[in-house]
Amino acid sequence: MNRKLIALNVVLVLVVGWAGYLLRNEMGSANAREAAMHKARVKAATPAPLPALPNQPPVTATTYKDVAMKTLFHPSRNPDLPPPVIEAPPPPPPMPPLPKYHGTMNIGDGPRALLAIGNGPSQAVKPGEEIGPFKLVDVNTVDITFEWQGQIARRTLDQMTDRSTQTTASNADDGRSVQPAVPAAAPAPVVKTPTGPGESTAFGFRTCDPNDSLPEGTVKEGFRKTTYKTPFGSACRWDPVGR
């Protein structure tokens, strides 16, 4: 038993010695390789030569004009853009036909022009009043002036006179001239009579009969006959005595 243990111990000692020997040799080889690596010098490769830079032309204004005229932020910087199209305003509407002129009258408050729109009835219009789309500005014995949408239209009375009525009357006269003339019966003479004062009015005087034969200044029933002038001729009335 002791011999077996001794033999086993010897074997173990040999194995440990052999393992130590191998370890020592391996460590020596590793140290030698490390020392060789530290002593080695790596030779750097020579780099290839760089290509020569191209020659740059001199800077001139014509080479960078597009930078000043064109921009990514606003296309209107480009002078080649077409100008904006400006639409022409619509033409003003034409002036309608002027009123027809039929005459002038004055009853004491200024002249009034007798005007008509188209074939409508005549209207007495004073300066400053309107007839249809027109405003009467002035009327005199020579010409007449209208205003329409700020425009002044002045025409002579001869240009504005409505001659359609005169032409119709002339044609009617021509048609009657073909027929044989028939003598018209003479009107019966008016017999004037002394009628005296007529009906009472709200103004205090009494009416007068145009066929009254009493002379002006006659006093009857407390009233005196008075004659006065109007744009349409002479007229009379009976005023209270003492008025």
Full DSSP string of 38-98: HH--PPPPPPPPPPPPPPPPPP-GGGSHHHHH--SS-GGG-TTSPPPPPPPPPPPPPPPPP
- H or E segment and range at residue 7: helix 2-39
Amino acid occupying residue 207: T
Cα separation, 116 vs 119, in Å, equals 7
Nearest to 145 by CA among 132, 130, 159, 135: 135
Largest CA distance in the chain: 203
Q: What are the extents of the domains in the chain?
A: 100-160, 193-243
Spatial contact of 118 and 97, defined as CB atoms under 8 Å apart: yes
User: Per-residue pLDDT for the chain (243 aa), expressed as one digit of tens each?
Assistant: 688 888 888 889 999 999 999 999 999 999 999 998 888 887 888 888 888 888 888 877 777 776 666 666 666 666 666 777 888 888 888 988 888 888 888 877 788 888 888 888 888 888 889 988 999 998 888 889 999 988 898 888 888 886 665 555 455 555 454 444 445 555 555 556 777 788 888 777 888 877 777 888 888 888 888 887 776 667 788 888 876
CA dist 179 and 175 (Å) reads 7
Q: Which pLDDT value is given to residue 20? A: 92
Classify residue 9 as left (phi > 0), alpha (psi -120 to 50) or beta.
alpha
| Residue-level pLDDT at 191 | 58
CA within 13 Å, CB half, 24: 6
- CA–CA distance, 207 with 223 (Å, rounded to integer): 11
CA–CA distance, 134 with 129 (Å, rounded to integer):
9
- Rounded CA-CA distance 205/207 in Å is 7
State the pLDDT at residue 54: 87
Measured CA to CA, the distance from residue 44 to residue 169 in angstroms comes to 131
CATH of domain 100-160: 2.30.30.830
pTM: 0.36
Paired tokens of 125 = 């219009």
What per-residue confidence (pLDDT) applies to 231? 65
Q: What pLDDT was estimated at residue 165? A: 57
pLDDT of the residue at 79: 62
At residue 210, the pLDDT reads 73
